Structure formats: C-alpha cells, structure tokens
A and B are shown apart, each in its own frame.
Chain A
Amino acid sequence: MKQPSSSWKLLILAAVLPILVLVAIDISLDSQSHPESFKRFGNAVITSYVVMGLILVGNLFFYADSRQRPFAPFVGMTVALSIGFAISWALISNDDLLLEANSNLRSQMLSNVVHLLVSGTAMAVASILAIGATFASITGRERRVLFEEE
C-alpha cells in the first residue's frame, strides 16, 4: 500500500523540481546572482499575506452569519492583518531593504498590489491550463467494462 506522506512529498517535489531546473539552467547561462529576487520574494510575501488576509476578513462576514455574528474572530483577524500591515510598512520604509525601482513607500505598496494582480492572473491562467488538461485527460479515456454479465 502506498504511504500518504511519501506521496505528498513526491507531489511537492514534482511541483518544485521543474522551477528549480529552469532556474539552474538560467544560472548556468548567465552565471550571475540576482539580488533583486530577494526583494521580490519579500514584497510578494507581505503583499499576498495582506491581500489574502483582507479577502478572509470579508469571508468572516459569511462565517459570522451562521454563528450569531461573533465579534472575537473578526477582531482577531483584524489584529493579524494589522501586524501584516505594520511589518510591510516597517520593511518597505527601511531604506533599501524591500524598495525596488520605486521612489517611496506609497508607490512601492501600490506597485506591489498591481504586481500581485498580474502574477496572480498568470497563475490563474496557468491553473486553468494545467487543471483543465488533467480533467480532459481523465475524461478522454473510454469507459472500461468492470465485469462481464453471465
């Protein structure tokens, strides 16, 4: 019987490996480091955390509907989101830590949101292709006869 945990590890490896292979080829072609990618990683983490947190706060309204509108989870999530905002503000306003080709804090934050919009769209279109192709290949097979009637 297959072990579920080893399957998950294999699945994560299958997802990460193609990206790492392409990045490795990229390194071999250029043989130079890209310090800007660390800034991009940091900006992507804080922006997606804040935007996803806002979406989840919106979802809390629906959760609250079925639970006589409790105030505690809403406050808790708002606090979690405020911490995200504070960390974003602190890191971006810190001189050259996360500031990319933008002049100030506000333009960097707005640029991050638009960047997330574009990269999120790219990931969504890629998901349509990959997940759709998976279902198309599954439904493409002819139905097999499981047993013959006597």
Chain B
Amino acid sequence: MLISPLVAERVMNPMLEAAIWFWIPLCSVPLGFWLSVSGKSKSLGNLIAALGLILVMVSSWTVPSSDSTAGGHLILFILAPSLLMSYGIYGMIFGGNVPVGRLDSTSRWSGAVAVIVSLAIFCMMHWYSLTPIWRDGTINPYWIVFWPTFLLFSTSLSSAAAVALVTYGDNRLSESLKLACLSITMTGIALSAMVFDGYHTTAEEFRDYLWLSAADIFGTLVGISLAIGAFAIVIWSYEKSLPIPESSNPPTKEEIKHVVSIAMSHIGGEEE
C-alpha cells in the first residue's frame, strides 16, 4: 500500500517540538556541567553543555511557536555585552597588582572602558532602539524582567561589597568608596528608568516590574537557602547515623622500616 506524501507530511506536535528544541537542550546544560565537573568525561560534558546552550539561544528560530523560547532569545541578545563586561573585568583584575598571570598595565584602562561600554549597551537596550525585539515586532517579554533584576542585584551586591571591604579589610576605605560609587551609579540608572520612559517601555511599566524583581530576588534567595538547608539536614543526619570508625592497629616494625626507606629515598643528602 502506498502512503500519500500529503498524509506523511504532518506537522509535528508543538509541545513535542518545544521539548526537542528547547527543554531537552536546557536540561542538557546542567547535565553537561555535571559531567565536566566530575572529571569523568570533561570534554564530552563541555560539548553537551555548549551545544545545549546554543540550541536554547537559537530556539526562537527553531521552535518559534513556543513562548518559552523568549528566554533563550533574551540570553542570545545579552550575550555580547555580558562577554564584553567579563572581558573588561578580567583585564581590570589581572592588569593590577597580582602575583601570577599579570597582564599589561594598559589592560586595566581598556578593561574599564569595556565595562563602561557594556553598561552603555545595556542602557541603550532600554533607552534606544537596541531593545531585544521578539516576534511580530513586539519587545521580548523577559527583557523587562532581566533589566530591573540586574540593576537591583548589582546595586545590592556592590553596596554589600563596599561595606565588606571597610569592615573586614585593613585600610580599604578608598577601594570601598569606589564600590560605593558603582552602587550609586547603578541606583542612578534604576532611578532614571523609573522616571524616564524607555524606547519601547514606559517608566510606569518599569516601576511595576521593579516590584516583581524585588519579589523575585528575595524569593529566589529564600528558595535556594531552603534547598541548601534541606540538603545539609539530609547529609548531617546520614553522617550522624554512621558508626564510629574502628581504630586501626599501630604499624608493625616492618611497615615502619618500609616507610623510613621511602622517606630516605626522597630526602637524600648526608649529615655534616
């Protein structure tokens, strides 16, 4: 019996399509990371994680019908400024006074410029036409999730780092002031976004999402703390249930002689 090509060309189920092109690659990222960290198959793990991340980032083209792919689309859009920022931070750290792997002193300046440019790109994504546009010319719905969360969290962390340097460091006031300046700068950007409309989003929308971002940050931190707490209780209760290990017998004369011979062969030299 012959099968008509019209019947054979059935459209794949949208859910199955989303699972194959988005959710399975997303799950393969931590899987590849685990494999890489375990050391059992480092290169295969890195390959799986990288492939998964690439498939997640291009998912808005491979499975355009799924709304979840907006997350991957946003990660693709912010990848370039994030990499530029990481490059800048690397140059700023290793262009300074480090004992190993020191770069040329000019890399501190180029690094600082890279960080400023990356922050400027993020600002242009909000106030200029660089905003990530998803499908049908609409703004990526997750951009307004990413932007206030990034601003709030960087403000908070910079402020905590400034206080930590003064509290725990020795004569670190000038470094602490620099970090306080960074925190104030990020606060200033957040305040500007609360007052001035963006290119595609209004200040009112940003203010609404600022609330949600604060709720997101606190909620995520609470959830992670609860999971770590549950993990610690499980491990602690298991370790507590283990019997105390028996004391081993002292080494015999032959064993001591063997250890001494090994030590002698490694130390060498003669007494004066």
Which residues of A are at the interface with B, using a C-beta cutoff of 8 A? 2, 7, 10-12, 14-19, 21-23, 25-26, 29-30, 34, 36-38, 40-50, 52-56, 58-59, 61-63, 65, 70, 72-73, 76-77, 80, 84, 110-111, 114-123, 125-143
Contact = CB atoms under 8 A, between A and B. Distances in A.
Contact of A136 (B30, B96, B214, B226): B96
A22 B71 contact: no
B116 to A, nearest CB: 11
Given A2-B167, A26-B211, A133 B238 contact: no
A50 B136 CA distance: 34
Please report whether the interface of chain B is mostly helix, strand, loop or mixed according to DSSP.
helix
A119 B159 CA distance: 20
Contacts of B159: 14-15, 17-18
Contacts of B211: 23, 26, 34, 36-37
A147 B146 CA distance: 49
A17 to B, nearest CB: 7
Contact of B179 (A56, A62, A133): A133
12 contacts: A10-B163, A12-B160, A15-B156, A18-B156, A22-B194, A23-B210, A50-B223, A118-B145, A119-B149, A122-B147, A130-B161, A133-B179
Contact of A114 (B68, B93, B187, B191): B68
Of A2, A25, A139, most B-chain CB atoms within 10 Å: A139
A11 B171 CA distance: 18
Please report whether the interface of chain A is mostly helix, strand, loop or mixed according to DSSP.
helix
Interface residues of B, number: 89
A136 B220 contact: no
A19 B217 contact: yes
Interface of B: 26, 30, 34, 37-38, 67-68, 70-71, 74-75, 78, 82, 85-86, 89-90, 92-94, 96-98, 108, 111, 115, 142, 145-147, 149-165, 167-168, 172, 174-175, 178-179, 182-183, 187, 190-191, 194-195, 204, 207-208, 210-224, 226-228, 230-231, 234-235, 237-238, 241
Given A18-B159, A53-B227, A119 B146 contact: yes
Contacts of B71: 114-115, 117-118
